[in-house]
Amino acid sequence: MSVTSVGIIGFGRFGQLCARHLAPHFDVVAYSRKNRTTRAHEMGVQLVGLGECARQDIVIISVSISAFERVVEQIAAHVKGDALVIDVCSVKEHPVAVMERLLPATVRCVGSHPLFGPDTARDSVAGHTVALTPVRNAPLDDVRTFLERLGLTVIVTTPEEHDVQMARSLALLHFVGSALAAIDIGRVTLSTATHARLLEVVDIVNNDSRQLLEDMHTYNRHAGAVRRELIKALEDLDHELTGAAAKRS
């Protein structure tokens, strides 16, 4: 019986996490612009050219959000007519629109956002959550069944609802984490357990690339408004505390 083949395009932090968890279940090949042969061999994954990677039964695109459109343009002519293409971008309106516009009409597409990363799901994805936004001809039941077998909770939503919620959760978390890193909140010897948890958040956020932070805010049209809401709340709080201090003196 032939095993379903998976091509992972982009072998960065998330592409490698995908490869590690999918290699036991599928024939996995991957495409990387960098020489990551040793890393790939450790996972039992073969590195191939972009065209060959795009000609597999299932194609997972795990490139930077800002590179997504260019990569889909490059692979569109290589993807098999009945292939299943899945993106993993941390925003959904942009990649879903790109796949609908650029991939041939027979190609089945599913938008996904795994709500975990290489730090939080290094050993197992069980117990984590993945958001799915079906695009067209999406074999949603098959995808859901496979993900649930891995122990994942699946939430089906729309690209817009996903981005509205992410603007208030993940994108905001990365914004706050990056700001806290800039003022070096770890430079203390007297810490509390809660402060230590905050430092963990800062570490996790900073393990991800600056490009991911930028892309999550540039390609999520709802993120700017939430950033400004937070800044206004901080200014109001500062105003209140400055007023309280003035009353005491």
Ligand X SMILES: NC(=O)c1ccc[n+]([C@@H]2O[C@H](COP(=O)([O-])OP(=O)(O)OC[C@H]3O[C@@H](n4cnc5c(N)ncnc54)[C@H](OP(=O)(O)O)[C@@H]3O)[C@@H](O)[C@H]2O)c1
Q: Does 88 bind ligand X (CB under 6 A)?
A: yes
Q: Does 33 bind ligand X (CB under 6 A)?
A: yes
- Least spacing, CB of residue 18 vs ligand X, in Å: 9
Q: Does 112 bind ligand X (CB under 6 A)?
A: no
Give the DSSP per-residue string, 34-96: S--HHHHHHTT-EE--HHHHHTSSEEEE-S-GGGHHHHHHHHTTTS-TT-EEEE--S--HHHH
Q: How many residues bind ligand X, per CB under 6 A?
A: 26
Give Cβ neighbours of residue 3 (< 8 Å, ≥ 6 apart).
Answer: 26, 27
Which of residues 11, 26, 175, 219 is near ligand X by CB under 6 A? 11
- Least spacing, CB of residue 139 vs ligand X, in Å: 21
Question: How far is 15 from 78, CA to CA, in rounded Å?
Answer: 20
- Least spacing, CB of residue 128 vs ligand X, in Å: 10
Based on CB atoms, which residue is closest to ligand X, 115 or 226?
115
Q: Does 134 bind ligand X (CB under 6 A)?
A: no
Q: Does 212 bind ligand X (CB under 6 A)?
A: yes
Structure tokens at 179: 């700001």
What DSSP state is assigned to residue 195? Answer: H
As a dihedral over the C-alpha atoms of residue 65, residue 157, residue 4, residue 54, rounded to 10 degrees, the angle is -30
Q: Does 114 bind ligand X (CB under 6 A)?
A: yes
**Cα separations in angstroms, 28 against 48, 78, 108, 135, 147:** 10, 17, 19, 23, 17
Q: Given the rule CB under 6 A, which of 127-135, 203-211, 223-231, 232-240 is the region that contacts ligand X?
A: 203-211
Question: How far is 36 from 11, CA to CA, in rounded Å?
Answer: 8
Which of residues 65, 72, 143, 152 is near ligand X by CB under 6 A? 65
- Point out which residues bind ligand X (CB under 6 A): 10-15, 32-34, 62-65, 67, 70-71, 88-90, 114, 117-118, 208-209, 211-212
